[in-house]
Amino acid sequence: MAGGVRIIAVDGPAAAGKGTIARRLADHYGYRFLDTGLLYRAVGARVLDEGLKLADEAAIARMAAGLNPVDLERPDLRSEPIGQMASKVAAMPVVRAALLDFQRRFGREPPGAVLDGRDIGTVIFPDAGAKLFITASPEARARRRLKELREKGIRAIEERVLAEMKERDARDGGREVAPLKPADDALVIDSTDLTPDEVFHRAVSFIDSKGG
Ligand code: CDP
């Protein structure tokens, strides 16, 4: 158990290594883990499948409200076109509102939870016991994403991955509702020159210091 800390919020930009650290923290503390990006990706995927227009807010919000856990298991959710559409639907207040309950319900179930996303520490769980904001330079993040894609056998060009990531970061950081930014009380970790182990150890000392 992480002392008195029941909710751990892990936010940050694309491919900063949030998922890796969040999963490892969940394992370490015996907590449940939710990658909230998958919720927006699942909505984006269905918008693409069904050829919906972004102006059709009511239909997209209904889809978001009706999302089931199995929808998060689609194997293609991590693709770049779905990521881009995810960040477009994520800018819609009706979509964010529809996904709020799912995330809060998940977080409240015992014994505790680690959620990774963009607005966990600022909007979803402003009272989270520990908040981390994991970042890295755009170039380092693009290299990591490229490696991930290549390991999956997907061909990709570094410049293109970097450009698409910057586009998504600009949209996520510039939107009016729940823009990407660290909570005032978050520990910001720049992982550009850190190993995954170093990031993990810094995170654990911070969480333990909060829970003591
Ligand atoms: O894995 P990666 O960091 O590339 O992206 P993700 O976490 O799967 O998120 C995909 C998109 O969903 C982001 O670009 C955001 O626009 C959106 N998102 C969000 O707005 N709020 C969250 N809590 C999680 C994701």
Where is 142: in which H helix or E strand?
Answer: helix 138-151
Q: How far apart are CA 71 and CA 132, in angstroms?
A: 27
For 55-111, the pLDDT digits (tens) are 999 999 999 999 988 999 999 998 889 999 999 999 999 999 999 999 999 999 999
187-190: strand order across its sheet: 32-35, 113-117, 7-11, 130-135, 187-190
Pocket of ligand 1 (CB under 6 A): 14-15, 36-37, 40-41, 83, 86-87, 90, 117-119, 168, 172
Enter the pTM of the model: 0.94
The domains found in the chain, sorted by start residue, are 7-211 (3.40.50.300)
> Cα of 212 to ligand 1 centre, how many Å?
31
> Cα of 129 to ligand 1 centre, how many Å?
22
Which atom of ligand 1 has the smallest separation from the CA of 168? 14
Which atom of ligand 1 has the smallest separation from the CA of 14? 3
Q: Would you place residue 47 in the very low, low, confident or very high pLDDT band (cuts 50, 70, 90)?
A: very high
Biggest CA-to-CA distance, the chain? 51
Which value, in Å, is the radius of gyration of the alpha carbons in the chain? 17
Which atom of ligand 1 has the smallest separation from the CA of 116? 23
For 111-146, the pLDDT digits (tens) are 999 999 999 999 999 999 999 999 999 999 999 999
3 has a pLDDT exceeding 70 = no
Tell me, what's the pLDDT at 80?
A: 85
> Quick check: 117 and 40 in contact, CB under 8 A?
no
Query: Percentage of residues in the chain with pLDDT exceeding 90?
Result: 86
Cα–Cα nearest to 101, from 61, 51, 138, 160: 61
> Could you tell me the sign of the dihedral formed by the alpha carbons of 131, 24, 138, 100, in that order?
negative
Q: What is the mean pLDDT of residues 158-170?
A: 91
Phi and psi at 35, nearest 5°, equal -90, 100
**What is the identity of the amino acid at 152?**
K
212 has a pLDDT exceeding 60 = no
Average pLDDT of the residues of the chain = 93
Q: How far apart are CA 178 and CA 122, in angstroms?
A: 8
Which atom of ligand 1 has the smallest separation from the CA of 40? 12
Of all residues in the chain, what percent are helix, strand and coil, respectively (each to 5)?
55, 10, 35
* Atom 7 of ligand 1, nearest CA residue: 37
> Quick check: 22 and 60 in contact, CB under 8 A?
no
> Quick check: 124 and 103 in contact, CB under 8 A?
yes
Tell me, what's the pLDDT at 146?
A: 92
Strand segments, DSSP code E, in 4-107 are 7-11, 32-35
Choose the residue to mutate in 10, 36, 74, 119 for probing ligand 1, maximizing ligand atoms within 8 Å of C-beta: 36
